[in-house]
Structure formats: structure tokens, C-alpha cells
Amino acid sequence: MAREYHRALIDETLTRSSHSRGTPTPAPPGGPPALVGGHLKRSVRLYPAYTTGTYSAEAKVVPLIVYARIQELGGTVRAHGKALHWTQGGKGYFAQSVTLRPTHKLEISNGKLRDAAIQELKGMVP
């Protein structure tokens, strides 16, 4: 499952939209961030599974860049100065705060992680 999540995250989710530095961010509201320099994508690490019990194991997919947590889990970003500013569809926006929605729910809801787990288990059961 972790391998599939890592692949989907870096090959699909984090490359869904992109733009050049200094241009408006075209990422749709509630969608994953647009790829600009690729720092977030390159920071994602896959740590292999290890046994945690007789019938359990754990693996991790971890982004190592400071802003990754709010991008992945969602949350509210608040302005520390006058206001947050962004451009979308050629129109400028200002706000005191912006709430980001979680992106990991898409990877869970599309069934790919479940399918990956089933395939892995089939390989383990004689």
C-alpha cells in the first residue's frame, strides 16, 4: 500500500497541475498544490515496511519539507502581515486566512490502496 501511495502521490497527485515561477497558481480549489519547482515532490520519502506484530506491518510515506503537513492534511493558513494574496483565473484575491482541504482522502477513496494491499496479501498466502 505504501509503495502505491508513494507512486500515486509523486506521479499523479503532485503533478496534476503546474506553472512557472511567478505566474498565477492554477491549482483548483480543494485540489493538490500545483507543481512549481518540484521541492515538495522531491521531498517525499518511502520507508519500507517492517514487522510490528505477528500479522501486522508498518510502512511510511513521509514528505520532508516544512509546508507539506498542511498541504497533505489540510488546515488553516493565517496571514501574519496585512493579508494573504494569490491569483486565480486572472483575478487577484486577498484574505486573512485560507483553509486547505486534505488531499490524502482522494488516494484512499479511489480504491488503489485497497487493491495494492490485496495483491500484497495474495503474494504472502500460500
Domain count, the chain: 1
Q: Is the pLDDT of residue 39 over 80?
A: yes
Q: Is residue 76 part of a domain?
A: no
Q: Is residue 77 part of a domain?
A: no
| Amino acid 24: pLDDT | 61
44-65 tens-digit pLDDT: 999 988 889 888 889 998 888 8
62-117 tens-digit pLDDT: 888 887 777 777 788 888 888 888 776 677 888 888 877 766 676 778 888 888 88
Q: Is residue 16 part of a domain?
A: yes
Q: Is residue 90 part of a domain?
A: no
Inter-helix orientation angle 2-11/112-124, to 10°: 150
Domain range for 16: 2-69+102-124
Q: Is residue 56 part of a domain?
A: yes
Q: What distance in Å separates the CA atoms of residue 86 and residue 4, rounded to the nearest whole number? A: 33
